[in-house]
Amino acid sequence: MRIVAGTFRGRPLVAPKGHSVRPTAERARQAMFNILEHAAWSPGVEDARVIDLFAGAGGLGLEAISRGAAFCRFVELDETALGAIRANAASLGVADKVAIDRRDGARLSARPIGGQPPFDLAFVDPPYGKGLGETALRALASGGWLEPGAIVVLERGWREGAETPEGYGLLDERLWGAARVSFLRYSGA
Q: What is the pLDDT of residue 18?
A: 59
- The one-letter amino acid at 53: L
Among 175, 34, 157, 146, smallest CA distance to 167 is for 146
Query: Which pLDDT score, from 0 to 100, does residue 23 have?
Result: 64
CB atoms within 10 A of CB 34: 12
Structural domains in the chain? 27-186 (3.40.50.150)
Predicted model pTM:
0.93
pLDDT tens digit string along 14-32? 887 754 555 666 788 899 9
pLDDT at 17: 73
Residue 176's φ and ψ, nearest 5 degrees, are: -130, 110
Q: pLDDT by residue (tens digit) across 116-160?
A: 899 999 999 998 888 899 999 999 999 999 999 999 999 988 888
Look at 114 and 10; give whichever has higher pLDDT: 10
Share of the chain above pLDDT 90, in %: 70
Angle in degrees, 0-180, between the axes of helices 59-66 and 26-38, rounded to the nearest 10: 50
CA 171 to chain centre: 17
Closest CA to 73 of 44, 52, 104, 48: 52
Helix, strand or coil, per DSSP, at residue 155: strand
20 contacts: CB under 8 Å, gap ≥ 6: 78, 80, 81
Q: At what angle do helices 79-92 and 59-66 cross, to 10 degrees?
A: 20
* Residue-averaged pLDDT of the chain: 90
58-110, pLDDT tens digit by residue? 999 999 999 999 999 999 999 999 999 999 999 999 999 999 999 999 999 88
Question: 128-153 in b/e burial notation, b at 16+ Cβ within 10 A?
Answer: beeebbbbbbbbbbeeebbbeebbbb
Q: What is the 3-state secondary structure (H, E, C) of 44-107?
A: CCCCCEEEEECCCCCHHHHHHHHCCCCEEEEEECCHHHHHHHHHHHHHHCCHHHEEEEECCCCC
